[in-house]
């Protein structure tokens, strides 16, 4: 489905988390290398880029493809999470430009907000709480709540259901190609805010709007 109207007032808005609301991808990607070294693995930047925006189980497959079926994914991921947690406790969660502006505008317009993140529930709750914005969201939908992660539409369909709105009445914000694919498959208008990855022309053709930051996106939402 291709949405042709330039502006639209959504009944609900769904946000990705890492790389979209939080400037955490660039910050945490090097932590994979740190986590892997004690186990004898060199997890480079380009390998981690292949895991951006996808579920933990799909990320497991990326690692196994690179290092073999005996790669200790769970142990290294747990170590990675500990390193990230230490960083968040020490320095807080870095917010993306325009996030608070957009959340304020949407709240003033009384539009309910949700999160659809590949992160697990405990991680998402912790990050949103540390950022001081968890109370802004009426519903959280996380990677451990769906069988099929992004780019499947499942997480976005569940998020829309939790918000009590049909997908076609929602707008979704994403920074990753798998997330944009999931929004399109769910029949949700997508707004792309680039972080690390540029989608293919085929994926960009499905995007409702591309914006430089979250503040710019407000002009398309009739708020």
From 59, 40, 37, select the one nearest 49 (Cα to Cα): 59
User: Is 196 among the domain residues?
Assistant: yes
Q: State how many domains the chain has.
A: 2
pLDDT at residue 56 is higher than 90: no
For residues 49 and 140, state if they share a domain. Answer: no
Percent pLDDT > 70 in the chain is: 100
Statement to judge: residues 83 and 18 lie in one domain? no
Residues 80 and 110 in one domain: no
Q: Which of 91, 111, 145 is the last residue of a domain?
A: 91
**Which phi and psi angles does 97 have, rounded to 5°?**
-55, 135
Is 1 among the domain residues?
no
User: Has residue 181 been placed in a domain?
Assistant: yes
Mean pLDDT of 21-43: 95
Domain co-membership, 137 together with 100: yes
How many Å apart are CA 16 and CA 12, to the nearest integer?
A: 14
Report the pLDDT value the prediction gives residue 96, as an integer from 0 to 100: 97
- Give percent of the chain above pLDDT 90: 93
Torsion of CA 146, 214, 186, 11, to 10 degrees: 100
pLDDT tier at 104, thresholds 50, 70, 90: very high
Model pTM?
0.93
Q: Residue 86: its pLDDT value, please?
A: 94
pLDDT given for residue 1 in this prediction: 66
Supply the pLDDT for residue 216. Answer: 97
In a shared domain, residues 20 and 128 = yes
For residue 104, what are the domain limits?
A: 12-24+94-220
3-state secondary structure of 123: helix
pLDDT for 26 equals: 86
> Pick from 94, 85, 81, 111: which is nearest to 173 by CA?
111
Domain membership of residue 2 (yes or no) is: no
> The CATH number of the domain where 160 resides is what?
3.40.50.1000
pLDDT at 180 over 70: yes
With 0-12 CB in 10 A as exposed, 13-18 as middle and 19+ as buried, what is 51? buried
Question: Mean of the pLDDT values across residues 172-201?
Answer: 97
Q: Mean pLDDT, to the nearest integer, of 29-47?
A: 96
pLDDT of residue 90: 93
Sorting pLDDT into bands at 50, 70 and 90, what band is 57? confident
Q: What secondary structure letter does DSSP report for 198?
A: P
The answer to whether residues 112 and 201 belong to one domain is: yes
């Amino acid at each position: 489905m291709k949405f042709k109207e330039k502006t639209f007032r959504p009944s609900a808005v769904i946000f990705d988390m890492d790389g979209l609301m939080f400037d955490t991808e660039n910050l945490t990607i090097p932590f994979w290398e740190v986590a892997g070294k004690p186990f004898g693995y060199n997890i480079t930047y380009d390998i981690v880029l292949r895991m951006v925006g996808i579920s933990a189980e799909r990320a497991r497959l990326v690692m196994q493809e690179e290092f073999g079926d005996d790669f200790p994914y769970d142990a290294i991921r747990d170590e990675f999470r500990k390193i990230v947690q230490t960083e968040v406790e020490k320095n807080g969660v870095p917010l993306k430009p325009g996030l608070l502006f957009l959340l304020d505008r949407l709240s003033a317009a009384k539009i309910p907000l949700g999160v659809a993140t590949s992160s697990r529930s405990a991680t998402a709750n912790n990050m949103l709480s540390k950022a001081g914005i968890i109370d802004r969201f009426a519903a959280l939908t996380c990677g451990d709540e769906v069988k099929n992660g992004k780019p499947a539409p499942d997480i976005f369909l569940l998020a829309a259901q939790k918000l009590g709105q049909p997908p076609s009445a929602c707008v979704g914000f994403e920074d990753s190609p798998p997330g944009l694919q999931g929004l399109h498959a769910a029949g949700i208008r997508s707004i792309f805010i680039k972080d690390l990855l540029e989608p293919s022309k085929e994926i960009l053709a499905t995007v409702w709007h591309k914006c430089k930051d979250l503040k710019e996106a407000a002009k398309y939402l009739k708020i």
